[in-house]
Structure 1
Amino acid sequence: MNNKFELSNEYALVRVLSVKHYTNTLFSFETARPNKLRFKPGEFIMIGLIIRGELIFRAYSICSPTWSSTLKFYSTKVPNGLFTTFLHKITTKTSIIIKTKPTGTLVLEALKPGKRLFLLCTGTGIAPFISILFNHETYIRYNEVIVVLTCRYSRELQFFNNEIKQMTKQSYIKPFARNKLRFYLSVTQEPYPYTGRITWLMRSGTIIADLMTYTFNKMDRFMICGSQKMIFDVTNLLKILGYIEGATNNPQDFVYETAYINQFRGNN
């Protein structure tokens, strides 16, 4: 297996450049970027670690802008999860393995033209949307881009808030996002200005009322990323509302990341 791995061009060994811990379980890390790696905003790559003599891979969305010289990722330590328990311990002395061919369903090309883009996510599901928010094409395609992020506790919003602060300093993207980008941050386990899960916020009309905007209509587009249950509930609600699931070969109204549904069934 090792000989095959060493001979394969689809893998790269990359150095960890920085690690930042936000809570006991949430952390981000940045790695070197192979010159040959090209990706679309919203795509993911497979990250590999050698654990107990075995090479194990998991899917991780790329948070970085497409023009960045580094790769940034956002992760949670899953309770009793073999992979994330080891990943949580990485330092700048660590190197990880990546597959250099990105893929994923959360790309703008999978959606029909529209007026508003809702990025619906929970927890670390914000990761692919960071790259999308750093992409000027997102703001060219839509009049409004609305991030709806739900976490359990307010401290779990720190990564997103940090990334948005970084984005506002980028002269490359700031003019495009101005007057178009909006956030709706909700917390479920403690008092916060906005509370409640995404499906309830949408179904009850709370999110529309709080944003002081017009109700959902046929020109709205949606991207969804989060836990398996959240994806199931939100996509079912969107179907009930008459929206159609899209793909790059058949652009429609909404897309979600299918890779993570399969990954949630495994041991993380």
Structure 2
Amino acid sequence: MPKWFQSKVLAKKVWTEGLFTLSIDGTGVEPFEPGQFLHLAVFPDGIDADADDDTREKQRVNRPYSVASPYGESLEFFIIRVDDGELTPHLWKLEPGDDIEVSQKAAGRFTLEKTPDAENLWLIATGTGLAPYIAMLRTEEPWQRYKKIVVVHGVRHANDLAYTDELQAIENVRLGAFRFVQALTRETADGTLNGRIPALVESGELESAADCRMTKEDSSVMLCGNPAMLDSMEEILGKRSMTRHRSKSPGQIVLERYW
């Protein structure tokens, strides 16, 4: 079981109903790499001060979340409320000053360290799978290793989009070195593509919008989010002779199943 740190909520940003970012005190967390995850936990029925460790563990409700910020005193988590979920309805109710527990040590291999060098880096996500990419983009490593970076964020509705202002600011500063593409599946909106990410790759619309190729010779592709998107993308990229990257069999694809 994780070793827990008693933390507090520092800030809460609501993007739309049920979609939010919590910022918490991370001073008790050990250093980690962008893309790794930590566990968040609450005690829905309160904490029994006299309970032993086993009882407390049974009372604690926790789940892993990729951190949407680099290691620091304040840590961000990009979360969607699942109405019948065990944890997210409780996280949704939290406000600045409220208590929350966080694991002291991060885990996970979805990092730039595990991603091969290439000319282009594609960061493709659905929903809250965008979180690890925000953490990565706030560091210097991707900009030092890749000539061009493309973020692709797919959601159902325009209201589900998040971090747009931050991504736009990066694009304005990193002229020619960064593009971000947003895609909607349930509606249309100015400045976004319409359709599921795999279909947009197959049609050529995604690469056209990003002004960037996605090939074995020039790209590394990170995939995070809906398992159906991951499976479809891996199949499509396989037709381009792109394979999953492993230490003993180098490839171009690194993925994280987000639920």
Q: Which TM class, normalised by the smaller chain length?
A: 0.7 to 0.9
- Quote the offset at 1:196 in angstroms: 1.0
Mapping 1:18-167, distance limit 5 Å? 18-52=11-45, 54-66=59-71, 68-157=72-161, 159-164=162-167
Relative distance call for 1:247 and 1:39 in structure 2 (3 A) is: farther
Deviations 1:188-215 (A, max 9, x none): 1111241111100111111122333445
* Aligned equivalent of 2:55: none
Relative distance call for 1:92 and 1:213 in structure 2 (3 A) is: closer
* Aligned equivalent of 2:203: 204
Counterpart residue type for residue 218 of structure 1: E
Structure 2: unaligned runs, 5 residues or longer: 47-58
* Aligned equivalent of 1:218: 217
Task: Decide which structure has greater helix share.
Answer: 1
**Is contact 2:185–2:194 with CA below 8 Å preserved after alignment?**
yes
Structure 1: unaligned runs, 5 residues or longer: none
Deviations 1:112-147 (A, max 9, x none): 211100001011110000011111110111110000
- Quote the offset at 1:110 in angstroms: 1.4
TM, length-normalised to structure 1: 0.83
Counterparts of 2:28 and 2:43, CA distance in 1: 23
Match 2:179 to one of 162, 179, 182: 182
Relative distance call for 1:94 and 1:250 in structure 2 (3 A) is: farther
**Is contact 2:12–2:22 with CA below 8 Å preserved after alignment?**
yes
**Is contact 2:183–2:195 with CA below 8 Å preserved after alignment?**
yes
Deviations 1:37-60 (A, max 9, x none): 211111111111123461122111
Counterparts of 2:248 and 2:6, CA distance in 1: 32
TM, length-normalised to structure 2: 0.86
Q: CA RMSD in A?
A: 2.3
